[in-house]
Amino acid sequence: MPARPPAPARPVGSVTRGTTNPNRLRRMDRWIAAVHGPALLRAEAPVAVDLGYGAAPWTAVELLERLRTVRPDVRVVGVEIEPARVAAAKPYEREGLVFAHGGFEVPLPGGHGERPALIRAANVLRQYGEDEVAAVWRRLCDRLAPGGLLVEGTCDEIGRRHVWVALTPQGPLSVTFATRLGSLERPSDLAERLPKALIHRNVPGEPVHAFLRDFDRAWAAAAPYAPLSARQRWVRTVRVLRDDLGWPVLHGPRRWRQGEVTIAWEALAPGSG
């Protein structure tokens, strides 16, 4: 009797709620295109992965469109652990966009040892324990091509508030806070969207708590700029965080005007205060 072929390996991870909406990840995508764009341009044949895209394929479709403004030949693979979601997404495949069944092992169709230049994992780790995050980060970063980036974070249902961590195989690089400024009462409102590695660390004595405290104070002090616009108030706030309070703010006003602020990871890392 001929030997049976080995059963396919079970995907690594757990099924998420699958909640998704069109344009939900626009802030993250915009940041990736601007900050990681040069690396995509240098890559020989870049592949980006939308890991855990959910019950509908909108975020993968949009990721392809946004990255192609930087690199027209980029390809996107939507990876989902729930087979029914992959089947539902298949009709949306087109040149440069495919969907695959998998999890944290990040399978790429065709094999051949190909590695992604980008893995975006949005709203994937919320259901995991804080003690599980580091292992997942390592596993995903091990799949990256040289010069690749992992972006992992959380946003609300319509993408008004978002916080994400950027990582390479060498470790975390930065934490970005992004918001629709017209809906913001105070910067610490973003605390509810902290990624799993930080959300339970928003307590006195932890760096992320100190940062959000200073962020609120700088925002309050910048109130005289509010009549000019919420954007001007935000830019002034971020400048105070950097210049007066000494927080290691990355990038410059061009990104701040988008309602973003990016802080070096080592300043917010748990237990680094």
Better-scored residue on pLDDT, 183 or 221: 221
What local confidence, expressed as pLDDT, does residue 11 receive?
A: 78
Strands 47-51 vs 249-250: parallel, antiparallel or unpaired: unpaired
What local confidence, expressed as pLDDT, does residue 6 receive?
A: 42
Strands 75-80 vs 97-101: parallel, antiparallel or unpaired: parallel
- Which range of residues forms the domain containing residue 122? 1-169
Distance CA 103, CA 270 (A): 26
Q: Is residue 112 predicted with pLDDT exceeding 60? A: no
Which of 31-40, 111-120, 155-164 comes out lowest in average pLDDT? 111-120
Please report whether residue 142 resides in a domain: yes
Query: Averaged over 74-95, what is the pLDDT?
Result: 96
Specify whether the CB–CB gap between 125 and 117 falls below 8 A: no
pTM: predicted TM-score of the whole model, two decimal places: 0.93
Indicate whether 228 and 121 sit together in one domain: no
Please report whether residue 259 resides in a domain: no
Q: Is residue 111 predicted with pLDDT exceeding 70? A: no
Query: Averaged over 30-47, what is the pLDDT?
Result: 94
How many domains are contained in the chain? 2
| Single-letter amino acid, residue 38 | P
Indicate whether 216 and 106 sit together in one domain: no
What local confidence, expressed as pLDDT, does residue 10 receive?
A: 79
Query: Averaged over 250-265, what is the pLDDT?
Result: 97
Please report whether residue 214 resides in a domain: yes
Distance CA 192, CA 16 (A): 18
Domain boundary among 169, 198, 222: 169
Please report whether residue 119 resides in a domain: yes
What local confidence, expressed as pLDDT, does residue 7 receive?
A: 42
Q: Is the alpha carbon torsion for 33, 44, 175, 100 positive or negative?
A: positive
Q: Is residue 3 predicted with pLDDT exceeding 50? A: no
The secondary element (H helix, E strand) that includes residue 23 is none
Please report whether residue 133 resides in a domain: yes
Please report whether residue 32 resides in a domain: yes
Indicate whether 32 and 130 sit together in one domain: yes
3-state secondary structure of 131: helix
Query: Averaged over 79-83, what is the pLDDT?
Result: 95
What local confidence, expressed as pLDDT, does residue 101 receive?
A: 96
Mean pLDDT of the chain: 93
Give 168: exposed, middle or buried? Use CB within 10 Å, 0-12, 13-18, 19+. middle
Q: Is the alpha carbon torsion for 142, 49, 127, 191 positive or negative?
A: positive
Please report whether residue 93 resides in a domain: yes
Q: pLDDT tens digits, residue range 164-207?
A: 999 999 999 999 999 999 989 999 999 999 999 999 999 999 99
CATH number of the domain that residue 29 is part of: 3.40.50.150
What local confidence, expressed as pLDDT, does residue 104 receive?
A: 95
Please report whether residue 272 resides in a domain: yes
Indicate whether 236 and 206 sit together in one domain: yes
Percent of the chain with pLDDT over 70: 94
Indicate whether 42 and 149 sit together in one domain: yes
